[in-house]
Amino acid sequence: MASEGIPDRDALSAMKVSELRQLCSDHGFLVSGKKHELVDRLLGLEASPVETPKVVTESKSRDIDDAIDKLIARVSGDEPAEPEPEPEPEPEPEEVIIEAEIVEAEIAEPEEPEPEEDPWFSGVIPNEATDEVFLDEVDDEEPSMIITLPSVDGLKENWQAISAIVVVVLLVGAIAFYLVQQDPAFTARPLRYGDQMDFTITETTIEITGDEMIGILRDITTPTLDEVCDELRATVSGGTGSILIRNGGIGDISHPLDAELIGAVNAHDAHGREHLTAEQTVTHNLAIDLQGKIRDEGTCTNTGWIKEDNSLISTSKSWRDITSKSTIRTDTDLSFTDPDNVRTDARAVAFGSVGLGSLGTLSPLLIFPLTPIELHEFFGDTPLTEGLSSVKASGLMDWTWTVQGEINTAMHGLVTHVSISEEGLAGCVGHVNIDIHVKRGNPWPVKQMVDILLDKEGGEDCSLEGLISDYLLDLPDGTLVVNAVITETSSNFGLTPVHWDKAYAGSPGSGEDIPNSQQHWEEAMPDESSLREFNLETAVDCLMTNHSSSDAAEALESAGYIWQATYSANEWNMSWVDDDENAGWVVLRVKDSGCILAEQREYDEGTVSWDRNEIPETLTLGLMEERVLDPLRYPELNQFIGDGSGWEPSVSYGYLLATTSVDVLSLDMVTAAGMRSWEDSGRDNTVGFAIDAETGRMVGWYHTSLPSN
C-alpha cells in the first residue's frame, strides 16, 4: 500500500531520481535502487526477495554498460528517460530490509581492491550498484576549514626575541562527493599509505609592497634580498612538486604489539616521546625571477632591481598521530640559490600545530599556497551535488564553498569544479579565493587555483584592534598578493588506508614523561644544574656577596628579579629590573674561586616593567638542559648542541620572562632557549631552540647555513 501523501505513479515517474530518493527518505523507506524500484517502493510494491540476489549477481556487467551510456548521454545533453517497469508483488517488510542490507554489503564494501580493478583509479565508470547508499547514514556535520597563522621566529644574541611577523597559511580541506545515479557527486576517500601525487606549478606570482612585509622574505633569504625595500615581485617561471604519504615498514614501528599497524611511522613529539604517525612529505622545486626596489646608502629609491633565475628547493615532512590525527611535528628544509650561486640553507622543526604552519616557522611566502588540499580531511564523507552551497563559520572567518558542477578537461577528463572563498576575515585584511578541480579516487585536487590578498589597512567594517590581538598578532604593514596554480601530472595510490582513530600499544599515556616539578622564583628562575658548576644560583650568590654595591645587587635586595639570563663559557649575562622599574644588565665571569663583574649597563627608561605577581612557577634550567641533551629525545638537534657529556662549548643557554619585555614572541610566558653559531667549510651556521619553561615542551628549533662574509 502506498503511504499517505505519496503521488500516483504518473507523478512519481515524472520526478528525478534524486527527488524520489528524498521522498523515500522522508517516509522512512530505503533509498537504494534504480528509478523504477524507487517508484514501486513508494507505491508499496517490491520485487520478490527470492529473485533479488539473482538480479544483483547477473546485473553487474550490464550496469557498467548502463553507466557508460548515461555518462555519454549526460555529456552530450541527450540523456534518455528511464523505462517504466511493471509493478511487482508486495513483499514482507522484514524481508525487504534484510535484502537491502545484502545488496549494500555485497556491492558497496569491496575488500582491498587491486588498483587496476578499482574504478576510482582506473577511469572506468562505476556500476550503478555503487550508488546505493542510505541518506540517513550520511554525516550531517558541516565541514570545518582550518586556517593556521604561523610566525617567522628567530632568537637574537642574549635571547632578545624578534617580534612575530605573521602571515596567513592556507590549510584548507576540500570537497567530498557521492556518485548518485545521474547526479554528479562522490566522496573523497581517506588517505592511504603510499599515496603520491606529482604536480606542476604555473601562473604563480607573489607581489609585496611595504618594507615591513618585505622584511619577512628579506630576513629568511639574507644576503640575497638584504637591499630590497618597499616593493618586491616574485614570479615562478617554472616549478614542480610532489606530495607523498609514506608507506612505513616493520622497522618504523618500535612496539612489538603494534606490528599490525604497518605503514605507520614512529616520530618524536614535543616532549621527546614516540608516537605512531602518518608521515607526509611535500616537496617543491621552483625557478623564481625577482624584481623590486633597492636601497642606496640606507634610503629606499626608485632604482629597479632584477634578479632572474633563482632556485628554491623545499622539502617539508609532517607527522600526524594516527589516533588523535593531530600534527606532532613538522620538519622543513629550504635551499635558496641566487644567479651568482650564493646559497642560503635553512631548516625549521616545529612541534605541534598551534601557531605554526604546515611548512614550519621559517617557510617563505613563496611556499604556503602551493600545498595541495587534503580532500577527505576537510569534507569527510559529506555528499555534495551540483549547485550545493554552504557557509562554515569559524571565529572571524566565514568560509563559503559552492559546487559549480562537472566539466570535461583535456588533461584530467571529467572533474568537478568547486569554489571556496573566505568572507569573514577577508573583510578586514583582503580576500582568499580558491578554485579546485576534484576527480574521483584522488585524495588531493588535480588542479588548485589560489588568489590571496592581505592588507592590514584594507578592511572597512571590522575592528582591527581586536582582530590583531586575537588572530593576526603583529601583521606587518603592507600588501601581499598571491596567485598560484598547481596541476597534477601523475598519481600513484596505496592499498592500505591510514590507521586513523586506531589506539596503539606504544602510545604515550596522559602525562607520561612530562615533568611537573615546577618551582617558585626568588631572585631568578631556578637553575640547579648538575652539568654547570657556575649555575645561576652560584652566580647570584657571587653577585650579592662580592658586588653588593652594584645596581643589580641592590635591585635584587629590593624585590627585584632577573627577567633574562644567558650562560656561555663560564659567564652569565643577567638582565634585572627593580620595583621602581629601573633596569639594566651585568656580565659575571668566573675567576679563581669567585667571580668578577666584567661589565654592567642600564637599559633605557621604560624598557621593561616590574610585576612579580605575573611570574609563573617554572621547571628548573637544569632539568630542561638534561632533557634537551638526551640524545634519544631530540636526536637531530642533539648532534649540534651536545658533546656527549654536556653542552658543546660554544652553546649559549638561558631564559626569557616575556611579561617584562616589549619586544617578544607570542610564545609562552617564560621561554628557555639555546643557540650556537660556528663556521664550517666557508659557511656560517646557527642553531637555536626554544622550550616552554612551564611544561618542558619543545616549541621548535632551527638551523641556518649562510655563506661566510
pLDDT digits (tens, 9 = 90+) for 270-288: 999 999 999 999 999 999 9
HSE-up (13 A, CA, CB side) for residue 344: 19
Start-to-end Cα distance in the chain = 90
Shared domain check, 466 and 569: no
C-beta of residue 577 within 8 angstroms of C-beta of residue 583: yes
Q: In this structure, is residue 501 part of a structural domain?
A: no
pLDDT interval class at 51 (50, 70, 90): very low
Separation of alpha carbons 312 and 306, rounded Å: 17
- Grid cell at residue 155: 632568537
Identify the residue whose cell numbers are 611570574.
615
Comparing 180 with 9, the larger pLDDT belongs to 9
The number of distinct structural domains making up the chain is 3
Q: Is residue 90 domain-shared with residue 217, that is, in the same domain?
A: no
Which of 662, 666, 670, 686 has its CA nearest to residue 166? 666
Strands 594-602 and 274-296: unpaired
Same domain, 69 and 125: yes
Handedness of CA 366, 369, 371, 372 (dihedral sign): negative
Same domain, 116 and 153: no
| pLDDT higher at 390 or 630 | 630
| Whether the predicted pLDDT of 101 surpasses 80 | no
pLDDT exceeds 50 at position 345: yes
Model confidence at 427, in pLDDT bands (50, 70, 90)? low
- Residue 422 within a domain: yes
- Is 631 within the bounds of a domain? yes
Residue 458 has pLDDT above 50, yes or no: yes
Return the minimum-mean-pLDDT range out of 397-406, 480-489, 510-519, 686-695. 397-406
Domain assignment present for residue 373? The answer is yes
Is pLDDT at 370 greater than 90 in this prediction? no
- Whether 169 has a pLDDT exceeding 80, the answer reads no
Cβ-based neighbours of 637, under 8 Å, separated by 6 or more: 349, 628, 687, 689, 701
Indicate if the pLDDT at residue 693 is higher than 80: yes
Residue 231: C-alpha distances to residues 222, 383, 681 (Å): 16, 45, 35
Provide the β-strand partners of residue 571: 568, 589
| Banded pLDDT at 356 (limits 50, 70, 90) | very low
| 497 assigned to some structural domain | no
pLDDT band at 542 (very low <50, low <70, confident <90, very high): very high
Mean pLDDT estimate for the chain: 74
SS (HEC) of 70-106: HHHHHHHCCCCCCCCCCCCCCCCHHHHHHHHHHHHHH
CB 563 within 8 A of CB 575: yes
**pLDDT tens-place string over residues 196-221:** 999 999 999 888 888 877 776 666 55
On whether both 152 and 129 belong to a single domain, the answer is: no
Q: pLDDT-derived band of residue 397, with 50, 70 and 90 as boundaries?
A: low
Q: Residue 202 phi/psi, 5° resolution?
A: -140, 170
Model confidence pLDDT, tens digit, residues 241-260:
999 999 999 999 999 999 99
CA distance 43 to 483: 55
Percent of the chain scored above 70 by pLDDT?
Answer: 68
Can you tell me the mean pLDDT for 331-345? 88
Q: What pLDDT was estimated at residue 480?
A: 82
Kindly report which listed range (309-323, 426-440, 480-494) carries the lowest average pLDDT score: 426-440
Both 130 and 155 in a single domain? no
pLDDT recorded at residue 45 = 73
DSSP 650: T
Which of 85, 109, 137 delimits the end of a domain? 137
Question: In 533-633, at which residue ranges do the beta strands (DSSP E only) sit?
Answer: 561-568, 571-577, 583-591, 594-602
Under the banding of pLDDT at 50, 70 and 90, the label for residue 261 is very high
**Residue of higher predicted confidence among 66 and 496:** 496
Q: Specify if 515 maps to a domain.
A: no
Q: In this structure, are 165 and 52 located in the same domain?
A: no
Q: What percent of the chain has pLDDT over 90?
A: 39
pLDDT given at position 400 = 80
Distances (CA, A) of 487 to 208, 336, 364, 436, 659: 25, 23, 21, 10, 47
Band of residue 31 on the pLDDT scale cut at 50, 70, 90: low
pLDDT of residue 60: 39
Does residue 304 contact residue 666 with C-beta atoms inside 8 Å? no
Q: What is the pLDDT of residue 487?
A: 96
Q: How far apart are CA 707 and CA 709, in angstroms?
A: 6
Domain boundary among 429, 460, 492: 492
- Of residues 31 and 497, more confidence is placed in 497
pLDDT of residue 224: 63
Structure confidence by residue, pLDDT tens digits, 590-599:
988 889 999 9
311/393 same-domain check: yes
Quote the pLDDT of residue 321: 96
Tell me the Ramachandran region of residue 63: left when phi exceeds 0, alpha when psi lies from -120 to 50, beta otherwise.
Answer: alpha
Boundary (domain end) residue, out of 68, 102, 137: 137
Q: What is the mean pLDDT of residues 318-327?
A: 94
Mean pLDDT value across residues 43-68? 45
Q: Is the pLDDT of residue 312 over 80?
A: yes
Residue in this structure with the C-alpha cell 602525562, named with its chain if needed: 511
Residue 506 lies in a domain: no
Span of 26-35, 141-150, 466-475, 494-503 with lowest mean pLDDT: 141-150
pLDDT tier at 186, thresholds 50, 70, 90: low
Q: What is the 3-state secondary structure (H, E, C) of 145-182?
A: CEEECCECCCECHHHCECCCCECCEEECCCCCCCCECC
Q: What is the DSSP string of 331-354?
A: EEEEEEE-TT--EEEEEEEEESST
Residue 32 is predicted with a pLDDT of 62
Whether 682 and 591 map to the same domain: the answer is yes
- Eight-state DSSP code of residue 264: B
Alpha-carbon distance of 28 to 26, in angstroms, equals 6
Q: Is the pLDDT of residue 29 over 50?
A: yes
Does residue 393 surpass a pLDDT of 80?
A: no
User: Does residue 521 form part of some domain?
Assistant: no
In which domain, by residue range, is 682 found? 536-707
Residues 103 and 153 in one domain: no
Same domain, 283 and 432: yes
Q: Which ranges of 118-257 would DSSP assign to H, the alpha helix? A: 119-122, 211-221
Query: With left for phi above 0 and alpha for psi between -120 and 50, is residue 158 left, alpha or beta?
Result: left
Same domain assignment for residues 306 and 441: yes
pLDDT of amino acid 384: 61
pLDDT at 191 over 80: yes
Report which of 481, 434, 483 is spatially closest to residue 455, judged by C-alpha positions.
481
